[in-house]
Amino acid sequence: MKKISSLFAFVIMAVFSLVACSNNQSNNPSIDSNSIHESNVVVENDTSDKDFGGRTLNVVATSDSYVPLFDKFTEKTGAKVEFLSMSSGEVLSRMKAEGKPSADLWFGGGLDAFMQAKEDGLLEQYQSKMTEKVDEKYKDKDGYYISKGLTVVGFLVNTELISEKNLNMPDTWKDLADPVFEHEIIMSNPQISGTNYAALKGILDLYGEEEGWKLFEDINKNIDFYSKRGKDPQEKVAAGEFAIGIIPADKKAADVAKENNLTVVYPEDGIPWVPEGVACFKGSENVDIAKAFIDFMLTKEAQEMIAEIDGKDSAQIIVDGVKGYQLGLDSDRLIDQDLSTFGSDRDKVLEKFENIAQGKADQ
């Protein structure tokens, strides 16, 4: 069993060749949030000869925490960066209505939305020598989007509560189906939470449709309600309201674990994951700058910045030579997921989830 009692970090995967993680460590690893992996591989910076002075890159991003990354791009290329204060959904709806893009670059967001945008013909195809180095798992085969990183799913466990109730530490998804955990598990609604949709889809890909749904039905029996807020599992486990939360396993979760004597667990039978997409909007005024940014994003320097900003645990798996957090993520346990059905099966999967949840998701 691999548990993480302290910081676990964030994962960014915009992957060149998938590298076996150098932290194939023994059980109960001691995790230090400042520990990092170093390699001698150096990635070429393809933006060194670009000059976009006087022009502006318009970006739809999931968070303003990435401003330092875009500032570095400005420093290297002269391009100013403006962030649009609208959701990806709003941008896509406006593109459909107006017939032209409101932004040049789409940075971060759920993979299903990128898949739909590709189907709708809203994305620019781009395959450079930088994107060619990214593993096929983490990019669109036709070159319409690429991953900036991964979100992975794990468990947050209230160690004290587990001990008080004489329960075993859960190591696998199958452990969560044990009736001893009735009323002890909290999960955000997969209809709202992209992370928990990824968890549900990952279970189905791991065990197959029939066995996967049966397993989830048993897990559902131990869940009193599905929260509307993505933060609820983490906060309520920390408060002692539940013993186990299904969470995005990142640095925030690890910080909460350290502060509250909790444990972050990567499930041994398989770790669900989902890429966080990046794409250029088709026909945008500055699509050439957007393409240059993607090349910049895939350099060692930018990947290390993203690893620091996101605080996830996959940079060292994704890109050769990148310094990343070493908090116990074993790339060999990432589920062999069928991403081609991640978006196309979403409605069907969530409809069946709703039938199984039987009103629990309304809370």
The per-residue pLDDT for range 288-340, each reduced to its tens digit, is 999 999 999 988 888 888 888 887 766 555 555 666 565 567 778 899 988 88
**Length reported for the chain:** 363
**pLDDT score, position 15:** 31
* 47 band by pLDDT with thresholds 50, 70 and 90: low
Average pLDDT over residues 219-229: 95
In angstroms, the Cα distances linking 317 to 11, 141, 143, 217 are 9, 20, 21, 33
Which pLDDT score is estimated for 328? Answer: 67
Q: Are 356 and 214 in contact (CB under 8 A)?
A: no
Mean pLDDT, residues 72-78 taken together: 96
Per-residue pLDDT reduced to its tens digit, 263-291: 999 999 999 998 888 999 999 999 999 99
- Specify the DSSP class assigned to residue 139: B
Residue 87: what pLDDT? 73
Taking a C-beta distance cutoff of 8 angstroms, is the pair 206, 335 a contact?
yes
**Rounded mean pLDDT of 91-98?**
82
Residue 299's closest CA among 125, 50, 27? 50
Return the structure tokens found at 96. 């459909």
Mean pLDDT over residues 93-113, rounded? 86
Whether the per-residue pLDDT at 10 is higher than 70: the answer is no
* Average confidence (pLDDT) over 244-269: 92
Q: Does the predicted model carry a pTM greater than 0.85?
A: no
Among 183, 174, 163, 252, CA closest to 206: 174
69 pLDDT higher than 70: yes
Mean pLDDT of 236-245: 97
Selection from 319, 315, 350 nearest residue 329 by Cα: 315
**Residue 221 neighbours by CB distance under 10 Å:** 14
